[in-house]
């Protein structure tokens, strides 16, 4: 009997009850241990263009990948490369490598593939000759946009704009999105300081900024959180605090860094302890805002992820974020929600911060990855007062908007947010069961939608698990010190969850 | 008789002689003044897919553009938008707007269109079904590149690598290219300080970098030049000093800024004065390096454009750059040549810095725009020592490499570098003649290849000229305080030069 097939009908409440009763799911058995050549029929086949299971032909990286690694190693640092892919043959939830290995992809290019590989809807788009010019002629969007641009932005980005936001600025990638969001907050903050409806810079502002000096380049700051990740360009990097390898040797800015709550999971079992931890962090946030103002580096904006992803899938409660938003308003700081990894539907809502129920919307919401284009939404007052202040040559890429329109059509047509909630529930239930089965290996299973994670006992074991899972045809990614993050595409169905949990169970059984 | 037809056979030497003799080209006559509806047959039609001249149907922006401006204005700041384009109908050197106006494009989307609009070679690429997957499945290149990636990089970027460089890192845009080039220089510099073949960071490095503090985030700097432009993200912006609007209100870093030579043109008439000016600047560079080391912010790298573009098309001599390279080496700083705007053939060589004849190559050469993908070449020792140090989700976009391969094929097949040198010579000769004809309007014509510029008497007149030229069907861009920069595509032929000069002459005649 398949693990998934039994587990899926079990509700979260029943499962929690079982956990409390010390009930252990003895049906978790390894049926595939030691077998490299995994090929299983999925219990259902809802998508006729998807493969029906992993299929491993060689160790990974296989001989072709190894040859290519050597070739590319002459050109670039290849330390971070897993293997080389055959994107032509990849389909749906399955990534195929150049050695013919087919893997269930639960990492999706660092969470950046919304509806799987080679989705027919995207190929259809490419087959339409009306679209070709958009690919061939990349414009300088900020000065000479295509006539279709306002409609395409409305049809794509604005159709999923977070509540309270009707303005959006596209950018090429996540880092550029956050860099420019920070700039928008600095400009907004300084104009507010200047006062008036048409604030103008002084001669001293204009001359001092040319040589990087205040008041033209003011000593303003962005408050970020320990464990946060917002990109790797110098401005973003000053707010990124997830891993030393990202920051080592790069000059930075003296900006305040608040503790992010370190909660205990499952959240509903530790509400009192977690609330105290969140209160402690919020107090520190206010304290930092006051101290940085006193030292002449006022906080122009606060940036935060709804779930700290790269930093280890650290959650906080809606109350935490609501209070944070209030603190930002109270102290005159902009409130920037970075949805680069959480946005686009993977949490079961289109934007993770929709779970908070904010009365007053965020000031800025940035995105990239699964949105295929970078950019940020913002409130009206966060729009720069003049042209060329938020600007670069490309400012995004209209061909990515075309893809996004199709992705959104698929999400709506196939009810994918609901599917994500359903698959996510099954995934989390399965992780709960597994951490009960393997308490020495797994802990702190947590998640929203399919945006789930689990902690591993230590980093070395995590590495073993990731490699063994890959050998069995499941592609996973780590985050934080010792977590595994699950980042499937939005088309990851319950039967993919079952398939994954079966293989994951086999991996854990081998390590027990 | 057409201006261009007479002028083109005139050699530069003859022209200079004429200038010295006070000879003025009386053939420069306005034949089109006051006429909005310009349509002229080009004297030659070498490219059958190009249009044969501008054709203006409405004022610009026309009614459709104005409607779209209003529509987009509800979504974004539109102050910088000129008009909306019909990219489907644009061809070769001609940009067509949504009101049916067809303009000779001498600005090419801020110098980012290499071989004109809708080049047949690029459409052919899109028609090949083998290429579609590359557009549909954007990978996380740093961990899961396509199997074709090493070959495609070799065929595209490495086939035009600057001398001394066999390594290249792709990035999504110009700013990301420079940000990561700076990071590579900082990492290289710190590893050099640590010494040894496998330098390792201390515990203090690793812990302090997480909170933006030294020694982990060291107080290193990049030396840049007044008037330089290297992008608008916070790291790049600390080295950008061209216009206040770029920098106002954005916090910056205390990095040294050297004066860039303010030369007199034509360069060959002021060799002694210009050499003195360059010596003064170089002395200041060395002085700044010493002073910043003394104040605890050593210069890890020097970044410079071969021609300061955004800052006003400011040139310097090969000797200046050779000496600058030597100063960098002497003081242990990396030498970074930013070819984002100058690269890709527009100066008549593929890389503008090839004109310098460096004995020791640059350490880093960054690119974007006409290369269609961002990135940077670098010497072996500038490669980061570990994976994930130079990294982000996308690290470029393989679909742009496909386009670049075709662009390079066209450049080779059609001998476009030679064409650029020929057209550039005609353009510069024409500008010399015009500045002699209109000394109260124009001065300091200068250029390399078609990468030319001329100074206008003042900013207000420049605006008038730009708008009048646009009304007559020629699209131009400004740079610096009062210059016009010419940035045609590589397919801008001598007959396009003639066409442009005729119209430009008409514009000037109206202002005289």
Each residue of A174-189: pLDDT tens digit?
A: 999 999 999 999 999 9
Report the domain count for chain B: 2
Q: Token pair 């030292």 is at which residue?
A: A295
| Whether residues B293 and B432 fall in one domain | no
Q: Do A72 and B123 touch (CB under 8 A)?
A: no
pLDDT at A66: 98
Give B20's contacts (C-beta < 8 A, 6+ positions apart): none
Does residue B10 carry a pLDDT above 70?
no
What residues of A act catalytically? 229, 338, 369, 393
Asked if residue B32 belongs to a domain, the reply is yes
Asked if residue B118 belongs to a domain, the reply is no
Where do the H-state alpha helices sit in A304-415?
318-330, 398-413
Average pLDDT of chain B is 92
From A365, A384, A411, the end of a domain falls on A411
Domain that holds residue A385: 131-411
Asked if residue A112 belongs to a domain, the reply is no
Does residue A27 carry a pLDDT above 60?
no
Residue A11 CB: number of other CB atoms within 10 A?
Answer: 10
Report the CATH number at residue A143: 3.40.640.10
Does residue A265 carry a pLDDT above 90?
yes
Instruction: Assign A305 a pLDDT band (cuts: 50, 70, 90).
Output: very high
pLDDT at A202: 96
Instruction: Assign B134 a pLDDT band (cuts: 50, 70, 90).
Output: very high
The one catalytic residue among B50, B52, B338, B363? B338
Q: Are A344 and A367 in contact (CB under 8 A)?
A: yes
Q: Are A253 and B253 in contact (CB under 8 A)?
A: yes
Among A21-35, A146-160, A258-272, B164-178, the least confident range: A21-35
| Whether residues B285 and B169 fall in one domain | yes
Take residue A58 and report the two structure tokens written for it.
Answer: 């060689």
Q: Provide the shortest C-alpha distance from residue A210 to chain B (in Å).
A: 5
- Triad A249, A252, A255: Cα angle to 5°: 145
Interval B226-252 mean pLDDT? 98
For residue A145, give the nearest of B81, B169, B383 by CB distance: B81
Q: What is the DSSP string of A123-165?
A: HHHHH-GGGHHHHH----TTTS-BTTHHHHHHHTTGGGPPTT-
| Whether residues B274 and B164 fall in one domain | yes
pLDDT at B15: 38
Q: Do A77 and B383 touch (CB under 8 A)?
A: yes
Take residue B412 and report the two structure tokens written for it.
Answer: 């080779």
Does residue A5 carry a pLDDT above 80?
no
What's the pLDDT tens digit per position in A419-442? 999 999 999 999 999 999 999 999
Indicate the SS3 state at residue A66: helix
pLDDT at B20: 35
| Whether residues A265 and A384 fall in one domain | yes
| pTM of structure | 0.92
Does residue B40 carry a pLDDT above 90?
no
Q: Are A445 and A485 in contact (CB under 8 A)?
A: no
Chain B residue whose CA is closest to A181: B233
* Cis-peptide into B259, omega within 30 deg: no
Q: Provide the shortest C-alpha distance from residue B149 to chain A (in Å).
A: 8
Interval B202-214 mean pLDDT? 97
pLDDT at B325: 98
Q: Which of B374, B139, B152, B395 has its CA nearest to residue A72?
A: B152
| Whether residues A389 and A488 fall in one domain | no
Instruction: Assign A130 a pLDDT band (cuts: 50, 70, 90).
Output: very high
Does residue B26 carry a pLDDT above 60?
no
Does residue A30 carry a pLDDT above 50?
no
| Whether residues B483 and B381 fall in one domain | no
| Whether residues A34 and A136 fall in one domain | no
pLDDT at B198: 75
Asked if residue B424 belongs to a domain, the reply is yes
| Whether residues B354 and B466 fall in one domain | no
Residue B330 CB: number of other CB atoms within 10 A?
Answer: 10
**Type and span of the H or E element at B455:** strand B451-456
| Whether residues B489 and B428 fall in one domain | yes
| Whether residues A222 and A354 fall in one domain | yes
Residue A80: list chain B partners with CB under 8 A: 142-143, 387-388, 391
Q: Do A143 and B110 touch (CB under 8 A)?
A: yes
Interval B26-46 mean pLDDT? 37
CA distance B279 to B265: 17
| Whether residues A357 and A440 fall in one domain | no
Among A207-211, B26-30, B479-483, the least confident range: B26-30
Q: Provide the shortest C-alpha distance from residue A68 to chain B (in Å).
A: 7
CA distance B4 to B453: 18
pLDDT at B494: 97
Asked if residue A113 belongs to a domain, the reply is no
Does residue A31 carry a pLDDT above 70?
no
User: Strand A221-225 vs strand A374-378: parallel, antiparallel, or unpaired?
Assistant: unpaired
Name which residue leads in pLDDT, B175 or A20: B175
Instruction: Assign B119 a pLDDT band (cuts: 50, 70, 90).
Output: very high
Report the CATH number at residue B474: 3.90.1150.10
The one catalytic residue among B11, B14, B271, B393? B393
**Type and span of the H or E element at B324:** helix B318-330
Does residue A192 carry a pLDDT above 80?
yes
pLDDT at A261: 98
Asked if residue B154 belongs to a domain, the reply is yes
| Whether residues A399 and A492 fall in one domain | no
pLDDT at B33: 33
Give B14's contacts (C-beta < 8 A, 6+ positions apart): none
Asked if residue A428 belongs to a domain, the reply is yes
Interval A44-62 mean pLDDT? 86
Chain A residue whose CA is closest to B100: A147
What's the pLDDT tens digit per position in B389-410? 999 999 999 999 999 999 999 9
pLDDT at A474: 98
Residue A114: list chain B partners with CB under 8 A: none
Asked if residue A350 belongs to a domain, the reply is yes
Q: Which residues of B50-80 are buried (b: 16+ CB within 10 A; e: fewer)?
A: bbbbbbbebebbbebbbbbbebbeebbbbeb
Q: Reading across the β-sheet that carries A167-171, which strands appear in turn? A: A167-171, A374-378, A364-367, A334-338, A299-304, A221-225, A257-258
Does residue A18 carry a pLDDT above 70?
no
Q: Work out the burial of residue A20: count CB atoms within 10 Å of its CB; fewer than 13 is exposed, 13-18 middle, 19 or more buried.
A: exposed
Take residue A310 and report the two structure tokens written for it.
Answer: 């790269």
pLDDT at B142: 97
Interval B152-159 mean pLDDT? 98
What's the pLDDT tens digit per position in B254-275? 999 999 999 999 999 999 999 9
From B387, B402, B432, the end of a domain falls on B387
Q: Do B248 and A118 touch (CB under 8 A)?
A: no
What's the pLDDT tens digit per position in A133-177? 999 999 999 999 999 999 999 999 999 999 999 999 999 999 999
Average pLDDT of chain A is 92
ipTM of the complex: 0.92
Q: Do A174 and B392 touch (CB under 8 A)?
A: yes
What's the pLDDT tens digit per position in B58-77? 999 999 999 999 999 999 99
pLDDT at A140: 98
Does residue B96 carry a pLDDT above 60?
yes
From B387, B407, B431, the end of a domain falls on B387
């Amino acid at each position: 009997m398949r693990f998934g097939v039994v587990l899926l009908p079990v509700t979260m409440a029943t499962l929690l009850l079982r956990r409390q009763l010390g009930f252990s799911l003895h049906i978790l058995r390894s049926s595939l241990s030691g077998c490299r050549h995994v090929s299983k029929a999925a219990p259902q086949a809802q998508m006729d263009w998807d493969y029906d299971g992993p299929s491993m032909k060689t160790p990974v990286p296989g001989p072709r990948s190894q040859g290519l690694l050597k070739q590319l190693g002459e050109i670039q640092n290849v330390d971070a490369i897993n293997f080389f892919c055959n994107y032509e043959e990849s389909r749906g939830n399955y990534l195929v490598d150049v050695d013919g290995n087919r893997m269930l992809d639960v990492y999706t290019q660092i969470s950046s593939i919304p509806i799987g590989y080679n989705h027919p809807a995207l190929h259809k788009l490419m087959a339409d000759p009306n679209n070709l010019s958009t690919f061939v002629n990349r414009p300088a969007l900020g000065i000479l946009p295509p006539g279709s641009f306002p409609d395409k932005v409305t049809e794509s980005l604005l159709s999923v704009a977070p509540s309270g936001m009707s303005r959006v600025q596209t950018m090429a990638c996540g880092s550029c999105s956050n860099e420019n969001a920070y700039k928008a907050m600095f400009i907004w903050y300084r104009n507010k300081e200047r006062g008036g409806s048409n604030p103008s810079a002084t001669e001293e502002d204009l001359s001092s900024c040319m040589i990087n000096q205040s008041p033209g380049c003011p000593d303003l700051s962005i408050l970020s959180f320990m464990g946060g990740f917002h990109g790797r360009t110098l401005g973003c990097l000053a707010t990124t605090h997830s891993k030393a390898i990202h920051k080592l040797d790069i000059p930075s800015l003296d900006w305040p860094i608040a503790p992010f709550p370190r909660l205990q999971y499952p959240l509903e079992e530790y509400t009192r302890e977690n609330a105290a931890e969140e209160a402690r962090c919020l107090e520190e946030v206010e304290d930092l805002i006051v101290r940085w103002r006193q030292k002449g580096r006022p906080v122009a904006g606060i940036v935060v992820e709804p779930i700290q992803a790269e930093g280890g899938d650290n959650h906080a409660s809606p109350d935490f974020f609501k209070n944070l938003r209030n603190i930002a308003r109270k102290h005159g700081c902009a409130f920037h929600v970075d949805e680069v990894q959480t946005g686009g539907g993977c949490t079961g809502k289109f934007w993770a911060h929709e779970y908070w129920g904010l009365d007053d919307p965020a000031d800025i919401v940035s995105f990239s990855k699964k949105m295929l284009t970078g950019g940020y939404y913002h409130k009206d007052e966060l729009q720069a007062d003049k042209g060329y202040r938020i600007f670069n040559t490309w400012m995004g890429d209209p061909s990515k908007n075309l893809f996004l329109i199709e992705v959104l059509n698929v999400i709506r047509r196939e009810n994918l947010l609901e599917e994500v909630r359903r698959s996510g529930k099954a995934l989390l239930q399965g992780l709960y069961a597994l951490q009960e089965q393997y308490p020495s290996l797994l802990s702190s299973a947590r998640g929203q939608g399919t945006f789930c994670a689990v902690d591993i006992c230590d980093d070395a074991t995590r590495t073993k698990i990731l490699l063994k899972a890959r050998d069995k045809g499941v592609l996973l990614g780590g985050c934080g010190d010792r977590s595994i993050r699950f980042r499937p595409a939005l088309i990851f169905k319950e039967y993919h969850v079952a398939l994954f949990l079966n293989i994951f169970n086999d991996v854990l059984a081998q390590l027990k």
